[in-house]
Chains A and B, each alone.
Chain A
Amino acid sequence: GEDVEQSLFLSVREGDSSVINCTYTDSSSTYLYWYKQEPGAGLQLLTYIFSNMDMKQDQRLTVLLNKKDKHLSLRIADTQTGDSAIYFCAERMNTGFQKLVFGTGTRLLVSP
């Protein structure tokens, strides 16, 4: 199947770290992405990782990739209230036209 799985909700306190997890399906996926959706807006690319990498860091964001377990995570350090949003992981399939398959999205709520 092509299900990309994420937990639906995550609640953290401001200043804590957030970790959002994703399990994908295609072990030959070349790129994996994290998108952020703020209320009333479209999806915005946060970061992506190439499949030959284990980790990518970009300011407060750290992406970890475990290809053996087909597990992707996004860590947000020093989470702020402005980080409250829905976060989608997506994998780029390595077949056909290399479409993106999106997860169900994780709603992150950051409380003061």
Chain B
Amino acid sequence: GAGVSQTPSNKVTEKGKYVELRCDPISGHTALYWYRQSLGQGPEFLIYFQGTGAADDSGLPNDRFFAVRPEGSVSTLKIQRTERGDSAVYLCASGGVEPASGELFFGEGSRLTVL
């Protein structure tokens, strides 16, 4: 597709369960970012991939959160033992060397609700 694709668009789960959120970036973009947006807030950085490696995971809130990008394209954000406080919209963004501004291109997000 032309844009960043995220699945599922909505996920409702119970406290304690495991969830996976998927991001398919724009073809050719080597940089991939995950952000979390809580209700009424701006997006907060979670993790950045350059290619297959996580170059900056300083935003991951704790060790229940993990992300992978094994082939340098699709990424999966994994949340173990979900808590109600994990409820948020998880946004994925990708970027390349163009445009020169370095703008990020965002997907529509995955809304996670933990009951």
The reply to whether chain A is a binding partner of chain B is no
Interface residues of A (CB under 8 A from B): none
